[in-house]
Amino acid sequence: MSIVADTLLESRPDVLTDLDREAIEQGDVRTEEMLVNMGPQHPSTHGVLRIVLRTDGEMVLEAIPHIGYLHRCAEKIGENLAPYQYIPYTDRMDYLAGMNNNLAFALAVERLTGLEVSKRAQIIRVIFAELNRIASHLVSMGAYGLDMGAFTPFLYAFREREYILDLFESACGARLTYSYITIGGVTDDVPERFIDICREFLDYFEPKIAEYNNLLSYNHIFVKRTANVGVISAGDALAYGLTGPCLRGSGVKWDLRKVHPDCGYEEYEFDVPVGRGLKGTMGDCWDRYFVRICEMEQSVRILRQALRRLEGTPGEVRNKAGKTVKLPSDAVYYEIENPRGQLGFYVVGDGSTIPYRVKARGPSFCNLSITNAVVKDCLLADVPAIVGSIDVVMGEVDR
């Protein structure tokens, strides 16, 4: 038998591996590995991610993510524009959480220049950041259901997201690329009745979370598909620099809103949900998914407090100096908690109004780096489950 194996291995060394030798020696059928391109035009790679899978039948032996299909030189553009002009480009990085991106860049520049932001503007920033967190997690949850083959939660998620987009539209006129939070505050005060409508939405939205849990989170098939799949240990998560729900899903209680609060997050009362391995191992896909659901509940809590605070805080919302601010010859790196993790901007000034260097640290980009380690020896159907639970937005991975 081993002669057969040797001849076969010699004749086709490019195709056969040592695994095959074992199979051939046992008199089994010869198996061939297959390279499959998953993406960039694949329905469940969330955009233009391309993963090259080395598969043996349904088993995935190796997965190598290839990125760069959506590269738009966002960082280089930052070196040619004033910070105020660069805000719209940050929208297009993580296009599901434009407000948070605006906020991260605005805070970095404000830190560099020492620009003052009024109390009211800070509260408005918190409100919009949290609303956008809910919207982003809704997309993530719905798309994750879609990856698992459940169509209906996606539509429910988008129905709720629609109201948030309406609120955004009423405030800044845009529904996806807001550029609302800007250097030195926000572009404009919230419209009349905004607080009432927002409260109305929160009253409507809060019971819906229980509905999602009944429909998807605790669904037996869904749990079977996601629990114990793609387990990331806390050590791995820290080693790969994961942040956001991916890190908290592995049980690490780390949220920048608690650790380094900005915009007055320290005054709000909220919990940091972490994965507890409720349905399987800690750090599996279900935990990462469920952390997002819990974060939506916490965001609602923060929003209720912020709305109450907004009512009692009159004043200006925009520091007019933000438009023509001069950047000192200094460098600053500032991170905030994005829905997907820590979004950081590194801004270097050279005394002019245009930064010398802008560098972004994207959470999706860093989180994606663990794909290689996690998607290993799993089934083909687990690949969308794992990639979906990491929840990457390719616009921000490629920038």
Partner 1 sequence: MSQFTYPWVQQGERSFRGIAALIAALARGVYRVAAPILRRFPGPVFFAAVIGVCVVVWAYVIVTRFADGIAQSAANTAVVTSMRGALTLAEIQAWRPAATAVWPESMFSGGLGALAYVVWPLQFALVRDLIAMTGIIGFISLVPLYTIWWERKVAGRIQSRLGPMRVGGWHGWAQSPADGLKLICKEDFIPKEGDGPLFRLAPYLAFVPAICAFIALPFAGSYVFRDLDVALLFILSMLGIEVIGVIIAGWASNNKWSVYGAMREACQMVSYEIPMGMALLIPVMTVGSLRLMDLAEYQRGGFAEWLAWRNPWCFIAFFSYYVASLASCKRAPFDLPESESELVAGFHTEYSGFRWSLFFFAEYAAMFAVSGLAVILFLGGWYGPFPQSWAPTGSGVIAAMARGVLFDGPIIFILKGAFLLYVQIWIRWTLPRIRIDQVLYACVQVLLPLTMIVLLGNTIWVLFDRPAYPGFQSLARVISGGLTIIGLVLTLLILGFMAYGYIHRRRLVGWLAIEHLPGS
Which residue among 68, 149, 235, 328 contacts partner 1 (CB under 8 A)?
Answer: 149
Dist CA 144 CA 132 (whole Å): 18
Which residue among 12, 71, 76, 159 contacts partner 1 (CB under 8 A)?
Answer: 159
Q: Does 383 bind partner 1 (CB under 8 A)?
A: yes
DSSP letter at 318?
B
Among the listed ranges 118-126, 151-159, 299-307, 369-377, the one in contact with partner 1 (CB under 8 A) is: 151-159
Residues 188-217 contacting partner 1, CB under 8 A: 200-201, 204, 215-216
Which residue among 152, 213, 233, 352 contacts partner 1 (CB under 8 A)?
Answer: 152
Which residue among 33, 255, 382, 391 contacts partner 1 (CB under 8 A)?
Answer: 382
Q: Does 156 bind partner 1 (CB under 8 A)?
A: yes
Contact 304, 297 (CB under 8 A): no
Which residue among 86, 222, 265, 268 contacts partner 1 (CB under 8 A)?
Answer: 222
- Beta carbons within 10 angstroms of residue 68's beta carbon: 12
The 41-80 site mask, x for binding partner 1 (CB under 8 A), equals -xxx------------xx----------------------
Contact 360, 399 (CB under 8 A): yes
CB-nearer residue toward partner 1: 57 or 191: 57
- Cα-based angle 356, 362, 367 (whole degrees, multiple of 5): 150
CB-nearer residue toward partner 1: 225 or 292: 225
Query: How many angstroms separate the first and last alpha carbons of the chain?
Result: 54
- Output the six-digit token pair for 236: 């791995």
Q: Does 284 bind partner 1 (CB under 8 A)?
A: no
Among the listed ranges 20-28, 146-154, 181-189, 279-287, the one in contact with partner 1 (CB under 8 A) is: 146-154
Q: What is the dihedral of CA 304, 185, 98, 231, to 10 degrees?
A: -60
E strands, the chain, in order: 34-38, 50-56, 59-66, 181-182, 185-186, 331-338, 341-348, 357-361, 378-379
CB-nearer residue toward partner 1: 33 or 398: 33
Residues 294-353 contacting partner 1, CB under 8 A: none
- Beta carbons within 10 angstroms of residue 203's beta carbon: 11
Q: Does 155 bind partner 1 (CB under 8 A)?
A: yes
Q: Does 270 bind partner 1 (CB under 8 A)?
A: no
Which residue among 163, 270, 334, 345 contacts partner 1 (CB under 8 A)?
Answer: 163
> How many residues belong to the site for partner 1 (CB under 8 A)?
37
Among the listed ranges 95-103, 115-123, 275-283, 377-385, the one in contact with partner 1 (CB under 8 A) is: 377-385
- Output the six-digit token pair for 44: 């469940």
- Output the six-digit token pair for 247: 């890190």
User: Strand 181-182 vs strand 59-66: parallel, antiparallel, or unpaired?
Assistant: unpaired
Residue with tokens 């998953």: 38
The 229-268 site mask, x for binding partner 1 (CB under 8 A), equals ----------------------------------------
Contact 347, 358 (CB under 8 A): yes
Q: From the CA atom positions of the chain, what is the Rg in Å?
A: 23
- Output the six-digit token pair for 325: 């601010």
Residues engaged in binding partner 1 (CB under 8 A): 34, 36, 42-44, 57-58, 145-152, 155-156, 159, 162-163, 166, 200-201, 204, 215-216, 219, 221-222, 224-225, 379-384
